[in-house]
Amino acid sequence: MLLQIDTLAAVEEQVAAIEEPVQQSMNLWEMAQYGGWIMIILAILLCGACYIFIERLVVLKQATREDKSFMDRIRDYIHEGKIDSAQNLCKQTDTPSAHMIEKGISRIGRPMQDVQVAVENVGNIEVGRLEKGLVVLATVAGGAPMLGFLGTVLGMVQTFYNMAQTSGGIIEMSALSTGMYQAMVTTIGGLIVGILAMFAYNYLVARIDRVVRLLESRTMEFMDLLNEPA
């Protein structure tokens, strides 16, 4: 008798487990679709920010690539009077610091103040080239969350509109789900894009500051080189 009761209880548990509704999970793609056209703009901004970040990383890596014996060879060429060889070495190196020194070498023979001004001007131009695209990245960092909030407002407007269209004062959650999903999803999407762009921007600024310090060091080293006795 007890065995039959246990068997019936086990069967009832299996039937209850079968009849229990299975909860469906939502992936990121399905969630993004609820955001509407705002999510398309955010996706474009994210792709643009990723492209700028990767492209600037490559440029900055090339800018910091330098032969440790570069300045020693420049010093030897200048002391030996081989100005053309020094300029050719700068052209072959093709880095921001090499461009600065090449400009300074072309001004040898003029007052030291003129040489330093020429070198610093080239340095400012090189830094401006390194900063290319950072304005766009900063704009994405600030604009993406605002677009997300815009989607939130539009979603709430859609929700209240659906509520106003109901008759008899009966509101079904299914009629409000679209607007609520848009309100939440666009906020999340905007914040994610904005946070990633902000981190990328700050990282690139830190890398550019490192290059600027390198250029300042090379400028001082080059000016000291010109003041050394032959």
Mind listing the pLDDT tens digit for each residue in 164-212?
Answer: 766 655 656 655 666 677 677 888 889 999 999 999 999 999 999 999 9
Q: What is the pLDDT of residue 178?
A: 60
* Beta pairing partners, 108: 110
Cβ proximity of 148 and 188 under 8 Å:
yes
CB burial of 134-161 (b: ≥16 within 10 Å; e: otherwise) equals bebbbebbebbbebbbebbebbeebbee
Mind listing the pLDDT tens digit for each residue in 24-35?
Answer: 555 555 665 666
What is the mean pLDDT of the segment spanning 100-115? Answer: 86
> What is this structure's pTM?
0.76
